[in-house]
Structure 1
Amino acid sequence: MVSAFLQRPAARSLNGDTGFQTTLASVFLYFVAAGLGTVMLGPALPLLAERWHLVDAQLGALFLVTFAGEFVGSWVGARRLGVSLLAGAAGTAVGLFILAFAGFGAAHFVLFCIGVGLGAGLTAGNVIVGTLDQVAGEERLEDSSRRSSRSRRLALLNLSWGIGAIACPLWLRSSLVLSHRAVFSFLDGGAGGALFFLGLGAAFLGAAVWIFRSLPRRFYATVSTKEIRERLHWQGIWMFALTFGLYVGVENALAGWLLSYAQRLHPALSAGGASSVAFCFWVCELGGRGVTALVVKRVDERRFYRGCLAAVIAVIGVLVFVPHLRMASIYAVTALAAVGLSPIYPMAVSFLLARTGNHPQVGKVFAGASLGGTILPWLTGVCSTHFADLRVGFAVPGVGAGLILLLARSVQRSSSSQ
């Protein structure tokens, strides 16, 4: 029975509805798991700090190695899309199973390997969904219809990622509750953390099996140069890479450190209670991406993009300049930041793929996202430690959001000129 379940079905054509929907289902399912894995360090920070007795700079180093791995994975992730998606899911699963029992030193290498898997899979998934209309022979669509269709698919894809991100702090809470049961006594004092990472590993393993059985075989081939719409020049690479990197850095710095910020302002909060801040962030980002998918045809995308960035900068300013926030205010700031950020990444990816199509070198651009995710959360922790105030650390994602806004016109002009 197991062998029959794992047997890969015959190749499907993307020219029919079945192949199109099967491909979308495979990538969307992976993105739910990827949402869990990408944000896991934020909710887990208090547990890891207690488990290994770490200060902020050391916790920031965990972000550093994870997103360094994502940089490597993203760099090569667009060459063979199916291989990147499958190997990324399976490799991340193995890494999470090991991380459940690893020490602080070994965790650096394991997190790097997990990052490689996430970077490869996320890059491949974005390119597959963003160029699926071309692969499926839908070039008959008008340019404006294709652009709005791409934006909607990418918004919904990132919405599925948000579902996983929301489930992450919920699973952390469940892990802490389950860890007190006698059946998990063999895990000693670290039962909650071990269960948390084991559950995440199981999610990636399930996604890997689904991809192996369902993704059409044509995606496992190397991208053909015939599918290239335009050569990527270095100016386009750095512009989009910087935008992606700054966005992911801002997002992860806020999502990762807001939980710790709430716990420090309100020490009575438990690790499980503080995780509700992360839950609020990802719920609001999820809702924001759902709204984006609905309104993208009815608004001026360029103004909407820049307006959301301006709102994010204003919200981060509140974190930096207001010395003490009540829990209700922390939830409000978290929600506004998440809603403001929600349209930025899928719209930026849409701008990129409108210009390049399925380009084998587009992974270099997505690698920029991992580079920003490496640096900004780490710098936030370093600034917090140096100034002994996490509010000062939040100036780092504030500057990052400002730089994205400065790049906005160039990114949009590049895509609209095609």
Structure 2
Amino acid sequence: MTILKPPRYLSGTIIYLSFAATGVGMALPGSVLPILLAQWSLADRQAGLLLFLGWLGSSLGALVVRPSRVRSLAAGAFLAAIGAVGMAYSSSWSCFLCMAVFGLGLGLTMTSTSLLQASRHPLRRGAELNRLNLVWALGACICPTLATHSLRIASARAIFSFLGLFFALVGLWTLLFEPDSIADSTNRTPLRSKWSLALWPLTLVLAIGLPTGIESSMGGWIAAYVQRTQQTISTTVTAGSCFWVGLMLSRMLASSILMRRRSERLVLIQSLCTVVAGTLMLIASKASLGMLAGVFLVGFGLGPVYPLLLAIALQFSDNSAIFFVAGLGSAFFPWLTGIVSSSTSSLRTGLVVPLTASVLMLILGLRLARLTDPVGLQK
């Protein structure tokens, strides 16, 4: 259906912008969560379910990518657009369905974009995927600031509507101008093998969903937590930015020459310890500076953990079941945080969920560290 093949630089720019927009989309519900809680009169338990459905939809989106990466990308962009517009005009009950559609579209868009760009750059696939990873983190990083400035002149409805319009345009661009690419069907994994988890050690299967779960819990709840504790807009915005900035910086460092010369084992253990220390500081501190430092350390420590665990997993198999397990962690932990928060009437207590996950991740990580390549970090 491609009408005209665009210049490579223009096509690449659109692809990168759309991938950055998925980062914005994943961080946006957490960034405006205090507004959504008031707008729809949601309790923390319901807000946790809202975040759960979004991340679960994102996980499922990774499983429905078709051999045509371009059509999958277009379908994901259109679903994200429908979900975003639905979030803008939904009620306190329809928002859950719209959030699930929004997450499904984002997951489908992210996965198909990664596969599409990997196939277009076979000789520098690692570098291309790393750039996409950084672009996504950049979008998530600037989302809290963009959301706050937008709320001064508009509403959450306008923000979701604008994002929906952007994804709709991306879908149209993809259908009309991006050359199609069909994956080699002979290399596809049989369905039974794709869903098998017996290919990986149990310790790895248990650990792979923890970093994504902590990331989604912190990204989803930090704005609401800081607002209730500090009750200042500037600190609330800065806290969300600190988390995503820490995540982005650590991923940049993890792909640098300096980090490649270090042991994977050392990087993994140091990162896990940083996550635990940051989470403890965030929960224990009541001062703005301590909370901001804690949330930055959590993000900075989390950055390299999932890529390292994924690198270990790929030593055993490269089928997609392990990606789905990782996605389930990102869906369940924000939900559990909301449930604990509502049950105890304390979001501070709710954050014990990601704290427990970080301690468990450290314990499992110490056992997995011996499986890492001693030569160095291979992202």
Shorter-chain-normalised TM-score: which range?
0.7 to 0.9
* CA–CA separation in structure 2 for the residues paired with 1:92 and 1:42: 17
Note the C-alpha offset of 1:304.
0.8
Query: What is the alpha-carbon root mean square deviation over aligned residues?
Result: 3.2
1:91 aligned partner, one-letter code: L
Measured against aligned partners, the alpha-carbon deviations of 1:3-55 in whole angstroms (never above 9, x if no partner) come to xxx95435x9xxxxx97x88865653332011011111111111011111222
**Residue in 2 aligned with 1:40?**
28
Residues 139-181 of structure 1 deviation map (CA, whole Å, 9 limit, x = unaligned): xxxxxxx8xx72x5444322111111123212212221222xx
Structure 2 vs 1, CA of residues 29 and 210 (structure 1 numbering), >3 Å: closer, same or farther? farther
- The change in CA–CA distance for 1:294 and 1:214 in structure 2 (over 3 A counts) is farther
| Equivalent AA in structure 2 for residue 277 of structure 1 | A
Residues 139-150 of structure 1 mapped to structure 2, 5 A cutoff: 150=126
Contact 1:69–1:113 (CA<8 Å) still a contact in 2? yes
- Work out the CA distance in 1 between the residues paired with 2:354 and 2:341: 13
- Per mean C-alpha deviation after superposition, the further-off stretch among 384-393 and 233-242 is 233-242
Matching residue of 2:352? 395
Cα offsets for 1:342-394 (capped at 9, x unmatched): 1223334444456545x5xx1x3222233112210111111122222222222
Aligned to 2:39: 51
User: Does the 8 Å contact 1:35/1:162 carry over to 2?
Assistant: yes
CA contact (8 A) 1:123 1:366 kept: no
2:207 pairs with 1:246:
no
Matched, 1:201 2:164: yes
Gap change, CA 1:79 and 1:405, over 3 Å in 2: farther
Higher mean Cα deviation, 406-415 or 118-127? 406-415
Shift in Å, 1:273: 5.4
Task: Specify the code of the residue in structure 1 equivalent to 2:356.
Answer: V
2:331 is matched with which residue? Answer: 374
Percentage identity across paired residues of the two chains: 27
In the alignment, the residues of structure 2 paired with residue 291 and residue 167 of structure 1 have an alpha-carbon distance, to the nearest angstrom, of: 19
* Residue 329, structure 1, aligned to residue 290, structure 2: yes
1:413 matched residue in structure 2:
371
Match of 2:150 among 151, 172, 175: 175
TM-score by length of 2: 0.84
Counterpart contact for 2:50–2:96, Cα < 8 Å: yes
Structure 1 residue 308: Cα displacement = 0.4
**Match status 1:161 vs 2:122:** no
Q: Tell me, in whole angstroms, the C-alpha distance in 2 between the residues paired with 1:412 and 1:226.
A: 31
Q: Which of residues 264, 271, 279 is equivalent to 1:308?
A: 271
Paired residue for 2:107, among 106, 113, 119?
119
Indicate whether 1:280 and 2:280 are aligned. Answer: no
Cα deviation, residue 240, structure 1 = 5.8
> Is this contact kept in 2: 1:246–1:369, CA < 8 A?
yes
Give structure 1 stretches of 5+ with no counterpart.
Answer: 1-5, 13-17, 139-145, 180-191
Q: For residues 113 and 361 of structure 2, what CA distance do their matches in structure 1 show? A: 23
Instruction: Between 71-80 and 310-319, report the one with greater CA deviation.
Output: 71-80
* Contact 1:384 1:393 survives alignment (8 Å): yes
Q: 2:41 matched to 1:84?
A: no
Specify the code of the residue in structure 1 equivalent to 2:73.
Answer: L
Tell me, in whole angstroms, the C-alpha distance in 1 between the residues paired with 2:362 and 2:66. Answer: 27
Q: Distance in 2 between matches of 1:161 and 1:198?
A: 20
Structure 2 alignment gaps of length 5 or more: 375-379
CA drift at 1:214? 5.5
Deviation at 1:197, TM superposition (A): 0.7
Question: Would the alpha carbon gap of residues 292 and 177 (structure 1) be closer, same or farther in structure 2, given more than 3 Å must change?
Answer: same
Name the CA distance, whole Å, in 2 between partners of 1:153 and 1:314.
Answer: 32
Does the CA contact (< 8 Å) of 1:249 and 1:377 recur in 2? yes
**In structure 2, how many angstroms separate the alpha carbons of the residues matched to 1:127 and 1:353?**
16
Q: Distance in 2 between matches of 1:411 and 1:248?
A: 18
* Matched letter for residue 252 of structure 1: S
Report how far residue 108 of structure 1 moved: 0.8
8 Å CA contact retained: 1:355, 1:415: no
**Higher mean C-alpha deviation, range 46-55 or range 296-305:** 296-305
Higher relative contact order at CA 8 Å, sep ≥6: structure 1 or structure 2? 1
* Partner SS, residue 63 of structure 2: helix
> Is 1:291 the equivalent of 2:258?
no
1:106 is the counterpart of 2:70: no
Residue 332 (structure 1) shift:
0.9
For residues 256 and 302 of structure 1, the distance between their equivalents in structure 2, rounded to whole angstroms, comes to: 29
SS at match of 2:299: helix
Distance of 2:224 and 2:311 partners within structure 1:
33
For 2:377, the equivalent position in structure 1 comes to none
Q: Is the 8 A contact 2:282 2:295 kept in 1?
A: no
CA–CA distance in structure 1, aligned partners of residues 72 and 369 of structure 2? 27
Q: CA deviation at 1:136?
A: 5.1
Aligned partner letter, 1:285? L
Question: Which letter does structure 2 place at the counterpart of 1:329?
Answer: G
Q: 2:222 matched to which residue of 1?
A: 258
Partner secondary structure for residue 39 of structure 1? helix
